[in-house]
Amino acid sequence: MKKMLAALALTALATPALAQDGPDIVTVVTADNPQTQLMAMVLSAQAMEQGNSLHILLCGDGGDMGLAEAPADITAPQPPRDMSPQGLMQMLMQNGATVEVCAIYLPGMGADESVLLEGVGVAQPAAMAAAMAAEGTQVWGF
């Protein structure tokens, strides 16, 4: 009986953390294709214009979008509006989007935060999990 009460108490303490407000949308970008990366930013921009808060998580090849010295295909303008994935992401950041690379991205490439664009952070796993699990949050994957 004591174990059950202890478990219920722990659950009650953890529940408010899950109920905290998170972003309306978490966009996870792992794609290496610049067109897919750009479309992820286009849809995210549309969502922001519709009043949604946005958190962008860049992992794997998608993490390259957060680099100050990103590969040329991530910074090259694409039709039809001559926007690049990184350029549109930076516009989203200026409009209030949070952008972070996965916690294992930089260690995986043997680098530190100094290689990231100004304003791009490193996601903390517990905080990112809470944001993704927050009630009402939609998670989009590209």
| Model confidence pLDDT, tens digit, residues 30-67 | 999 999 999 999 999 999 999 999 999 999 999 999 99
| Model confidence pLDDT, tens digit, residues 124-140 | 999 999 999 999 999 99
**What global pTM score does this model have?**
0.84
Q: Which domains does the chain have, with CATH numbers?
A: 21-141 (3.40.1260.10)
pLDDT, residue 53, reads: 97
Tokens found for residue 130: 């809470």
> Which residues touch 16 (CB under 8 Å, ≥6 apart)?
none
Q: Which helix (H) or strand (E) holds 6?
A: helix 2-19
Quickly count: other Cβ atoms within 10 Å of residue 119's Cβ.
Answer: 13
Quickly count: other Cβ atoms within 10 Å of residue 21's Cβ.
Answer: 11
Q: Which helix (H) or strand (E) holds 77?
A: none
pLDDT, residue 22, reads: 75
